[in-house]
Chains A and B, each alone.
Chain A
């Protein structure tokens, strides 16, 4: 039995590796079947009110921008969101009324977030980017917790669900964090086939561990490729199909963020959201960019326009390493 020296007070979902195994046994598709669906169907089917929602990267950089907007469009409620290396996307989801809890690694702060914390409509739990990634790693390994060499000694630790314990091998104090198995993960990728075999090019945060650790996984992909292409270059596969529940074809799916090797971030659009938050005009912003269009495709056509999309493609001049 581990001796607990100190224990954080933050709320967390108790790790349940056996429950996760049972979920995999009963619900994860093993067959090679097409999982191609619209963003509307993917979010309607796989995101539920009250879910723990995780996503890789953020609204500035290869995040699932089109899926964020669909979650808001469908007015999902009471989500517990993982803010690991995030940006204004947490504020966007809060503005959409979707969030009740946030696990904080890093998020861009502003008036929307300040108000939600002060009026108690959103509760925060403190971790760090790396600690949340470690929790996903534990979740992806099928173990209940992992020891790690940080968090201890800080107020962050006090507001987290971490423990400080005596390590049974070295007999020195070590921090440990509970495994995290999100209900649903949103991951934006460069390419996927219809079965869910997914390729991500470039650096990132923890898409692999997140896909493995999550009960349901929605992948949005810039391009849907032939399954034979996957089998011809298996080393390029980031996530194999059986972890993935839905594949959504989403060109410019990270918009207004960038996808490396394809297009740059639309800074003006991103600043427009920050400005809307500062001026109390978030409702107008959501109406224009989310509610008044029925899909990501319609938003690109009516609100962004081909000229802007081409300019963003042209602004990302460095393809080396991504597509060669």
Chain B
């Protein structure tokens, strides 16, 4: 039986600490390279995406001593979805509406990034995903999910222009 295009789900829980994120980066890189049909450059791109999402969850979403949850859902020939959830116990936590507002501001044409921080969500996560969604978790905290479709990745790599399919969906 050919299982290569069945949906696979992998969930990882890690402590709220930047120390552990390099391991998740390495896992993401190798998982995408070895179990999906995305080209290698997308494996590196998802490495950056997961890093940015985890760092935000650690910095803002979950308090020290708590954890964040990372979920990968993929079909080898179709898509990769990445979900990062925090517990909403962080000192600088933000809700989905607040993060949506920040994202919209920074995604607006002509927005000039100043300072050291603030580029990752829009410039890396936003650019390298087809859909980015912010949701408030019923139990508290934020759930941020992205999806990238393999066919869109291949079209982009081939230089085939397509309408901007990036969307941001808010669910409260």
- Same complex origin of A and B: no
A residues contacting B by CB (< 8 A) are none
